[in-house]
Amino acid sequence: MAEETKKFMYINRKAPYGTIYAWEALEVVLIGAAFEQDVSVAFMDDGVYQLAKGQDTSGIGMKNFSPTYAALGDFEITKIYVEKESLEERGLTLDDLQHLVWEDEDEDWAEKDSIRLVSRAELGEVLAGQDVLFNF
């Protein structure tokens, strides 16, 4: 079906539980992983809250889907961009986010960080280099 490899990026811009965008975006990322494209995922604006660690949804009756992000490495999704300014504007640092890793098959399954902290300008350059942008 997929005769060529394209650069796919999924952009997450919204907080995790106020609307369903974050959860349904994650479903697209997981399904898309089966298509063997060159996949990146970006988190910006309120989307950075999706990766916040220690999420507890027991008070709102919704499923806490945040543990699923830790599985992205197993789906060979290893490039996760987080926009630095979006974190700063919300008083967050990388320490407030889950530690996401992937295992590098070519280096004896060495564990490597998936998250790449980038400035707004740098993220803009990454976006410009993509073939397909899924915007959520």
Give kind and range of the element (H or E) at residue 20. none
132 scored as a contact of another protein (CB under 8 A): yes
Question: What 3-state DSSP class applies to 122?
Answer: helix
Q: What letter does residue 16 receive in the DSSP assignment?
A: T
Residue 93: CB atoms within 10 Å: 11
Question: Is 62 a residue that touches another protein (CB under 8 A)?
Answer: no
**Least spacing, CB of residue 129 vs another protein, in Å:** 16
Is residue 135 near another protein by the rule CB under 8 A?
yes
Q: CB of residue 39 vs another protein: minimum separation in angstroms? A: 10
Q: Which two tokens stand for residue 13?
A: 């811009």
Binder to another protein among 31, 60, 71, 110 (CB under 8 A)? 31
Asked if 63 and 55 touch (Cβ cutoff 8 Å), the reply is no
Q: Which stretch binds another protein (CB under 8 A): 24-32, 40-48, 58-66, 120-128?
A: 24-32
Q: CB–CB of 28/59 below 8 Å? A: no
Among 18, 20, 64, 89, binds another protein (CB under 8 A): 20
CB of residue 114 to another protein, shortest distance in Å: 21
Cα gap 88→6, rounded to integer Å: 32
Residues of this chain that bind another protein (CB under 8 A): 1-2, 4, 6, 8, 20-21, 24, 27-28, 31-32, 34-35, 37, 132-136
